A and B are shown apart, each in its own frame.
Chain A
C-alpha cells in the first residue's frame, strides 16, 4: 500500500502533538490504577475475587479494556470526523491514496498507542503494587490484539455514522461512559447490583474485560471461549461495515 509508512509516521506525530487526547487515553487508566491501588492495595482477597488474587492484579486487565474503549469510542470517531469536517480527508481523496491504506495506517498507530498504554500500566503496576500475572504473555497479547481490532473497527463505523465531529464526540461519550462503569472496565462488575450485572452482558466492553481477565489469570478455554467468540463476531461485523461505510467527506 503506497504511502502507508509515511501516513503512519504522520498520524503518530500528529497524535503526539495533541496533549489532551494523549492524557486521557494513557494517563487516565494509570491514575485509576494508582488511586484504586492506593485504596485497596494488592493483597490477595479471595473473599471478593473468588481466588487468591489482589485488586490490582484483577484491575490491570480491566484497565486494558479502558484504554481500548477510549481509543475506539472517543479518539477514533472524533479525529476522523474532525478531519472529514475540515476537508483534510477530501484533499486525500483527490490523490491516489486508497481508503484502506488510510484505515490500516490509522489503526496501526492507534494499536501502537494502546500497546504503549498497556506497557505503562504493567510497568507502574509491577513497580508500585507488585503486579502478578498467571497467564502467558503471548495469550494476553493475542487477546489484546483481538479486542483492540474489534473495537477499533467499530470505532470507524461510529466515525462514518456521525455527521460531524461534535456528533461523534456526543455519540462516543453516550456509548462509552456507561460502559466504563457497567462493563467491569472501570470498576468490578461484582460491585454492581444483580440487575445491572445482567445488563452488563449486553455491553461489548464487558467481553473485553472477561477475556483479558481470563487470559491474565491463565484460565482455560471454558472461560475465555465465549468472550473470544463474541469479539471475533464484533471484529467481522466491524470490518465489513467500516469498509463499506467509510466516507472521505
Chain B
C-alpha cells in the first residue's frame, strides 16, 4: 500500500463559461516527494489543486488521494490531509492561539499546537490578533493550520507570494522539514526559482495543460547546454538605441568621449549566439560554446558600449518554461522583447 501513489489525477477538465481553466491534466504524486505545479498566474494551477483537494468539482476526470475519492470520501480524506489555500482567511477578530486550538479540535488527532507555533517562529504570537500579524507571520500561521493534524499529504497553494526573501527562505526550510518527517507535499507556485529549489518533480502548467513533467534538473538538462551572458546597459530606449548619458559612475571600461551605441542586432549574429533578449535595461544573450562570454565582451568593447554587471548564468527552469511556451514569466523578466536570433516556440 505504501508503494501506491498518494495522488492520482487523470484527465481533469474544468470550464468556467468559455474558459477551459483545466484542460486535460493528468499526473501522479509519489509518497514522500515534493511535487510542484509551476506556471504563470491563470494557468490553472489553483483550480487543479482545489479539484484534487475536493473543494471544487471537475467537469471530467478522476481524482484519487490516499486511495480516497475527495468528493465522496471528503470527511475521511480531510482528516489525513492538510491544506493551505491561496485565499486563506479566518474569522475576524480571532487570536492566533484561538484559531489553532479551534482547528485542532476539528480533527480526531492533532499535534501539540504550542509546539507547532514554536517551530514556526510564532511562539510569541499566541495571544495576538491574527489581523495584527505581518505577512510572513500570517503565512506561517496558515502553514501551521495546514499541519495541525499531522497530515500525510499537504497541499500548499502559492506559498510565498507577497513574502520578503527572508520569509520565503524560512518557508522553504519548513517545506523540506515536512518531507523529512514523511509527509508528501503538493505545491503550486508561479515562481520558477521556488519550484526549481524545492521540488523533486515539477509539472509546468500553461493554459490549463501540463506541458512538461519531470525533475527540474532533468528538464533543464534536456533543454540542451545553453549558457547565458547577462549584463545591463543604462538608458536603453524602445528601439534599442541608447538614451541620455548614463548616470552611474565607475563603468567597467574607461570611457571614451560619449557612450557607444549598443547594437543588439550585431550581438545576435555572433558565433555561438542563439538569441538575444532585452528586458528594460537588462540584456540576455543565449548561446553555446566556450567562447560565448569573450565574444560578447569583445563586441561590446569594440562598440565602446558601457555595460555593468556582466555575468554568466546557468540555464534554469525559467529557461525551460520560456523554451516551451515562447512567452516570458512577466514577474521575473518584466516586458521582455526578443530582438535578434530565431523565434522560439
Q: Which residues of A are at the interface with B, using a C-beta cutoff of 8 A?
A: 2-3, 5-7, 10, 13-14, 17-18, 82-83, 86-88, 90-98
Knowing A96-B78, A96-B79 touch, does A91 contact B105 (C-beta < 8 A)? no
- Can you list 21 A-B contacts (CB < 8 A)? A2-B105, A2-B106, A5-B105, A6-B102, A7-B105, A10-B98, A10-B102, A18-B93, A82-B92, A87-B89, A88-B90, A88-B91, A90-B55, A90-B85, A90-B89, A91-B85, A92-B106, A94-B53, A95-B78, A95-B106, A96-B79
B83 touches A83 (CB 8 A): no
Cα A17 to Cα B55 with chains together (Å): 31
* The residue from A3, A10, A92, A93 contacting B94, defined by CB atoms under 8 A apart: A10
Q: Measured between C-beta atoms, what is the minimum distance from A116 to chain B in Å?
A: 19
Q: Measured between C-beta atoms, what is the minimum distance from A79 to chain B in Å?
A: 9
Mostly, the B contact residues are loop
Interface status of B254 (Cβ within 8 A of chain A): no
Knowing A94-B53, A94-B55 touch, does A83 contact B91 (C-beta < 8 A)? yes
- Contact digits for B65-109, partner A, Cβ 8 Å, 1 yes 0 no: 000000000010011000101011111111000100111011110
Q: Measured between C-beta atoms, what is the minimum distance from B133 to chain A in Å?
A: 15
Cα A62 to Cα B259 with chains together (Å): 87
Knowing that A90-B87, A94-B55 touch, tell me 8 more A-B residue pairs with CB under 8 angstroms: A3-B102, A18-B93, A87-B87, A88-B91, A90-B55, A91-B89, A96-B75, A96-B79
Cα A93 to Cα B71 with chains together (Å): 12
Question: What B residues does A88 contact at CB under 8 A?
Answer: 89-92
Question: What A residues does B98 contact at CB under 8 A?
Answer: 10, 13
Cα A92 to Cα B88 with chains together (Å): 10
Q: Measured between C-beta atoms, what is the minimum distance from A72 to chain B in Å?
A: 20
Question: What B residues does A13 contact at CB under 8 A?
Answer: 98
B94 touches A14 (CB 8 A): yes
Mostly, the A contact residues are helix
Cα A58 to Cα B113 with chains together (Å): 52
Cα A92 to Cα B94 with chains together (Å): 14
Q: Which residues of B are at the interface with A, using a C-beta cutoff of 8 A?
A: 53, 55, 75, 78-79, 83, 85, 87-94, 98, 101-103, 105-108, 145
Question: What B residues does A6 contact at CB under 8 A?
Answer: 101-102, 105
Cα A130 to Cα B293 with chains together (Å): 97
Give 4 closest A-B pairs by Cβ, nearest first: A87-B89, A6-B105, A94-B83, A95-B106
Closest B residue to A86 by CB, please name it. B89
* The residue from A87, A90, A93, A95 contacting B103, defined by CB atoms under 8 A apart: A95
Closest B residue to A97 by CB, please name it. B106
Question: What A residues does B85 contact at CB under 8 A?
Answer: 87, 90-91, 94
Closest A residue to B101 by CB, please name it. A6
Closest A residue to B56 by CB, please name it. A249
Question: What A residues does B103 contact at CB under 8 A?
Answer: 95
Closest B residue to A10 by CB, please name it. B102
Cα A86 to Cα B53 with chains together (Å): 20
Q: Measured between C-beta atoms, what is the minimum distance from B220 to chain A in Å?
A: 34
Cα A86 to Cα B93 with chains together (Å): 13
Cα A6 to Cα B91 with chains together (Å): 14
Cα A6 to Cα B75 with chains together (Å): 19
Question: What A residues does B108 contact at CB under 8 A?
Answer: 2, 96
